[in-house]
Structure formats: structure tokens, C-alpha cells
Amino acid sequence: MALDPNLIASIEQSIKDTVSPLLTSPSKGADLYELYIWSLIIEAARAEGATVAFYDVNGSLVTSNFIFRTSPGRIFSTIQPYTHAHIAFPGCPALEAHIGIFVSGKSKVIHECDVAVLYADAAGTCRAEEVHPKSTQLLLSAECKFYVQSSMGVGLARSYLGLVSEVKHTYRSCYFVAVSESNSVQRLFAHHQKDWETGVMPDDPKGRPQRLRSSFERGFRDFKLRES
């Protein structure tokens, strides 16, 4: 399946740079989708008044040649100068938005977060001490599913419910986001009152990307009220 050019254009608008050719082949659709959801978080933070800058794992400012993980990795890995977003709201603790990092859950089992927003001071400590972030240090996480040639089964939803039980804490949001739709998955999430949005693509006529971004904005709004 050819990638929707609107997906790439939306990401490039958020980072003000061209997406690497390594992420634009059809085989990299899932990786690009995670980057797209991450870019919606960046847009939401800016809409709520944040200043956003991009840095690599070494602490260097990144203005071009962004490098993103294409498989789960450690937040402190220096195999590549992986890029993350530094999000700063006036009078609040700084945040970082990452793609594809491991997080330690309540049981101390390590889980992958496709997209994660966490406190910047905690992220810095994890890089310095070479440890995984704790789920208590997350503000927001998103599980991103790019199912375009197969359907999502209820087993996938049950697996996500297990992940939420491991990483969700008070005032922390966990989202399930997918490009395709499934009535059984949606009913299960609605029953358990989880945060989810399916059918999320830039050209969606129902405006679901905008609805998801608005949900991210509310999360940042509440964060500012708690922390300022």
C-alpha cells in the first residue's frame, strides 16, 4: 500500500523539515504512523502555548536531519543521535516527547511506548544513569496501530488493556490510536472507559485527527493548571 502523501506532509509541517527517505517506503508505514501521532502531540503543545525545540540524545539542538527510532529502544541509546521534542510551558516543568522508548511499568516489567511524553528532568536522569523511565514519570503515552491490510482483533484490545494497567497513573493519559476501525475493539474500549481514537489519518473526512489533537490539548491544558 502506498503511503498517503498527506501523512508525510503533516509530519514535515510539524518538524519544519523533510522526513527521511528511510521512513517513506511502504514497508515503514507503521514507523511513519508513530511519527505522525507524535507530530499531533507537538501541534497540540504549541496550540496550548508551548515552545517546542528538538534535541538529540547527546543534548545537541537539532534543526535538520531528524533521526527517529524505527524499532523499540532505550531512551539513553547512542547508537544513533535519536531526536526528541523538548516542550516548555511557561512556569511549568519541561517535558519531552519521544518515539519508541522502553518504560518500566508498575510491576517493573519493561514495556514499549510507541509515543511517550514524560518530564524532562526525569528523562535527563534516565539518560545520565542509563535506566528506563518509570511509568510514573509519563504524562502521556500512545499505542499506535497501522493495520491497513488486516483487521484489528479483540485480542489486540485486551493486550492494550493489560498495558494500560501497567503504565497508567493518576493524571496520566494512555491512548490507543489506529488507522483502521473495529467495532469489537471500539466497544471494548468504550466499556472500559479508555482513551482511544480509530480511523486517524490526515485526510479523514470525519475530522478524527483534529479530535485526537484536541484531546491532547486538553491534557496539556490540565497539566499547566496542575503544575503552574
Question: Domain range for residue 117?
Answer: 5-227
Residue 2 has pLDDT above 90, yes or no: no
How much is the average pLDDT of 75-104? 97
Q: For residue 34, what are the CA distances in angstroms to 49, 126, 129, 179?
A: 23, 22, 27, 11
How much is the average pLDDT of 203-208? 92
Give percent of the chain above pLDDT 90: 65
Judging by beta carbons within 10 Å of its beta carbon (0-12, 13-18, 19+), is residue 171 exposed, middle or buried? exposed
Residue 152 has pLDDT above 50, yes or no: yes
Report the number of distinct structural domains present in the chain: 1
What are the tens digits of pLDDT across the range 16-62? 777 776 566 555 778 889 999 999 999 999 999 999 999 999 999 99
At 171 the pLDDT is 83
Residue 9 has pLDDT above 80, yes or no: yes
What are the tens digits of pLDDT across the range 122-145? 999 999 999 999 999 999 999 999
- Which CATH number belongs to the domain containing residue 140 in this structure? 3.40.91
Average pLDDT, the chain: 90
Q: Which of 152, 160, 206, 204 is nearest to 178 (CA)?
A: 152
- Residue 1 pLDDT class (50, 70, 90 cuts): very low
